[in-house]
Amino acid sequence: MNALQSRAAVVLQKSLREGFGLTVAEAMWKRRPVIGGNVGGIRYQIENGVNGFLVESVEEAAACIVRLFKDNRLRDEVGARARERVRDKFLLSRYVEQYLDLFSAF
């Protein structure tokens, strides 16, 4: 999966149901724009139009794919923001920081 995500221009995770969706976070960390189904934990990871795209239908997914393939700059910008989202919200170091903040509150 790592090799595929690293070489991909766009990653599609069009789930109908999804928990956290680790493949979404992995692709975002690799600076890949992700098009995901607007469900479950995917919504928690992707800010629609900012660091990826949330879609409801196959037609919306196809339109996003075409848009990202045609616009290299948009693809790069979304991918960069995707990595920042993972860095800010989902790395283990962030969880440790939150845990320590909890202890210092007492």
pLDDT for residue 93: 82
Instruction: Kindly tell me if the per-residue pLDDT of 57 is higher than 90.
Output: yes
Give me the long-range contacts of 48-53 (CB less than 8 A, separation at least 24). 50/78, 50/81, 51/78, 51/81, 51/82, 51/84, 51/85, 52/24, 52/28, 52/78, 52/82, 53/78
Q: Residue 71 has which token pair?
A: 């616009």
CATH 3.40.50.2000 fits 2-104, yes or no: yes
pLDDT for position 92: 84
Q: Between residues 90 and 74, which one has the greater pLDDT? A: 74
Q: What is the pLDDT of residue 16?
A: 85
Q: What is the mean pLDDT of the chain?
A: 92
Residue-range domain boundaries for the chain: 2-104
